[in-house]
Amino acid sequence: MLVQDSALIPLVKNIFNLDDDKEALEILNSDKNIKQTLDALVNQYTVPSNNGRLIIGNPATFNTSLQYSTKPGYITVNVPCGWVKISYHAIPTDEDSMPMIPDLPSYKEALMYYIGTKILYAKWIKGQLSNEIYYSIKRSWNFYRR
């Protein structure tokens, strides 16, 4: 939730025992750590209500919980305003958006045995390849794919 300076000014005035809003605003603007700390505290102990106002208190005591749903291209949340932080893990891709694999010998071995099982499967089905050879390659594939 983005906290406006106007909401932080009374807190700074109380902390530093100030009477003037201008002095409190100067402290907020001059010390980034104070602003970040107060932002974190306000976000931790306030919950937005349905009418857009902030309810101050311990969020653990409220029955409201953050809910979200995703649709292709959209994230919908039950909070009227604020920020959504998104983190994800993706498969590395090259400049053509093709998936990349790590440059490790074990990956190359796994790919070699995978391709071998695919190529030799047709021969094995036709009876042109012995069970011993086919299952040896398949066991190697199962070992390296992990």
| Domain annotation covers residue 13 | yes
Let me know if residue 76 belongs to a domain.
no
CA gap 88, 70 in Å, rounded: 14
Is the model's pLDDT at 23 over the cut of 50?
yes
CA-CA distance, 24 to 140, in Å (whole number)? Answer: 69
In this prediction, residue 134 has a pLDDT band, given cuts at 50, 70 and 90, of very high
Is there a contact between 92 and 100 (Cβ–Cβ < 8 Å)? yes
- The answer as to whether 47 is a domain residue is yes
| pLDDT value, residue 117 | 92
The tokens 């109380």 sit on which residue? 14
**Residues 11 and 38 sit within 8 Å (Cβ to Cβ):** yes
In a domain, 97, yes or no: no
Within a domain: 37: yes
Exposure on the CB side of residue 3, measured as CA atoms within 13 A:
20
Tell me how many domains the chain contains: 2
Q: What is the dihedral of CA 70, 73, 79, 81, to 10 degrees?
A: 170
pLDDT in tens, 39-86: 777 766 555 544 444 444 444 444 456 777 777 777 777 777 777 777
**Domain ranges, residue 15:** 5-62
> Is the predicted pLDDT of residue 89 greater than 50, yes or no?
yes
Beta bridge pairs of residue 105: none
Question: Is 49 a domain residue?
Answer: yes
Instruction: Rounding to the nearest 10 degrees, give the CA dihedral for residues 6, 9, 10, 16.
Output: 180
What pTM was computed for the model?
Answer: 0.37
**Inside any domain, residue 28:** yes
End-to-end CA distance of the chain: 43
